Each structure stands twice: as C-alpha cells, then as structure tokens.
C-alpha cells in the first residue's frame, strides 16, 4: 500500500557517459592546469619585485592542480548520468556540486550535437537539448559519438510525434 502523502523518490538517470570521458577530462584539466601553474611560476621567477612567499603560492597551485587532474575526471564520471525516455530528458552532472535536470519532451525545441577537436580524438560528442525553460539548455557531455547520433535521431523522432508547440 502506498502512502498517499508520500513524496516520490527520484532515481538517478540510467545511463553513464562514455568511459573515454575520464581520459578526455584528464587531458583537458592537465592542459588548463599546466597553463595556470607554468604562468604563475614564470611570474614568480621572471618578474622583479615578486615576494619570495609567492613561490609557496606556486607550489600550492601545483599541488591543487595535481589533485584536480587526478580526482576530478573520476568523480565526474561517477556522477554524470543521462536518460531519454518517451516523456522526458533527464540528466545529472557535476563533481563538486550536483545538478539534476528533467525536461518534458513536450518542452524540447531543438536537439544539437557538438564535437570539438579534442572530443573527436577521443570519439566523443556532446548533446544539447534546448527547451522552453528559463534555466537554459540541458547538456550531456562525453557521449560516445555514435550514441550521440542515435540519441539525436531518437529525440527527433519522439519530439516529432509529441503534440504541443514546446512553449
């Protein structure tokens, strides 16, 4: 027997992103963090008048960068999920904070896929579902490129069969 006043429990979306997201996010973080740490080190070493304690700041930046590169991709992979049903698009993302988004199919306006140069190297693509929502589009990062194509086709089929004007 179901309690009439009970609050339903929202389950996590069913699908994980591609396992190749881990090396993709690792390389991206490594590239960005390297620029920051090397830039800070160059300022500390080459700019006259920078206090000696700035070296400690550079060291702390380097330690934070190593932790970021080592931990962030794995945490994101465990958190990021997505699911498309005949009634909604459901996503969960984040690594420090968490965001869960659910968009009814009747609110979907456009479906786009994107594949940057680095994503192509890893065989990945991102999917963006634009809705009639002030919260903005829903994005699923790091899907297998073939999966992204299939999801775009499926969403196009589902939304075409759904009545309403997505407004």
Which CATH number goes with the domain that contains 153? 2.30.29.30
Query: Do 97 and 134 belong to one domain?
Result: yes
Q: Of 31, 48, 77, which residue sits at a domain end? A: 77
What is the spatial distance between Cα 84 and Cα 142, in angstroms, rounded to a whole number? 15
Query: Do 64 and 114 belong to one domain?
Result: no
Confidence of residue 165 (pLDDT cuts 50, 70, 90): low
Query: Do 47 and 115 belong to one domain?
Result: no
Task: Provide the domain limits for residue 29.
Answer: 16-77
Q: Report the percentage of the chain scoring pLDDT > 90.
A: 75
Tell whether 104 is covered by a domain: yes
Query: Do 64 and 125 belong to one domain?
Result: no
In the chain, the number of structural domains is 2
Query: Do 86 and 140 belong to one domain?
Result: yes
Nearest 5 degrees, angle CA 35-CA 17-CA 109? 100
Q: pTM here?
A: 0.86
Query: Do 128 and 103 belong to one domain?
Result: yes
Confidence of residue 166 (pLDDT cuts 50, 70, 90): low
The stretch 96-109 carries a mean pLDDT of 91
What is the spatial distance between Cα 14 and Cα 17, in angstroms, rounded to a whole number? 10
Query: Do 64 and 94 belong to one domain?
Result: no
Tell whether 40 is covered by a domain: yes
Query: Do 65 and 24 belong to one domain?
Result: yes
Which element (helix H / strand E) includes 45?
helix 21-46
Task: Let me know: does 45 contact 58? Beta carbons within 8 Å.
Answer: no
pLDDT at 52 over 80: yes
Q: Nearest-CA neighbor of 57 among 40, 32, 81? A: 40
- Residues 12-39 have pLDDT tens digits of 899 999 999 999 999 999 999 999 999 9
Strand ranges of the sheet holding 99-104, from the earlier edge strand across to the other edge: 15-16, 81-84, 88-93, 99-104
72: which residues sit within 8 A by CB, 6+ positions away? 25, 29, 95
pLDDT at 162 over 60: yes
Query: Do 143 and 125 belong to one domain?
Result: yes
Tell whether 7 is covered by a domain: no
Q: Of 26, 56, 77, which residue sits at a domain end? A: 77
């Amino acid at each position: 027997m179901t309690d009439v006043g009970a609050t339903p429990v929202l389950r996590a979306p069913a699908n994980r992103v591609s396992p190749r997201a881990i090396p993709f996010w690792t390389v991206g973080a490594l590239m960005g963090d390297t620029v920051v740490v090397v830039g800070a080190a160059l300022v500390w070493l080459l700019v006259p008048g920078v206090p000696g304690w700035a070296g400690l700041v550079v060291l702390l930046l380097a330690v934070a960068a190593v932790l970021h590169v080592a931990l962030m991709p794995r945490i994101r992979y465990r958190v990021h999920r997505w699911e498309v049903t005949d009634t909604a698009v459901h996503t969960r993302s984040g690594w420090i904070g968490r965001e869960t988004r659910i968009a009814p199919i009747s609110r979907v306006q456009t479906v786009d896929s994107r594949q940057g140069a680095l994503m192509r190297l890893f065989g990945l693509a991102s999917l963006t579902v634009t809705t009639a929502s002030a919260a903005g589009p829903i994005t699923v990062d790091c899907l297998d490129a073939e999966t992204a194509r299939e999801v775009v086709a499926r969403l196009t089929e589902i939304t075409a069969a759904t009545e309403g004007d997505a407004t």
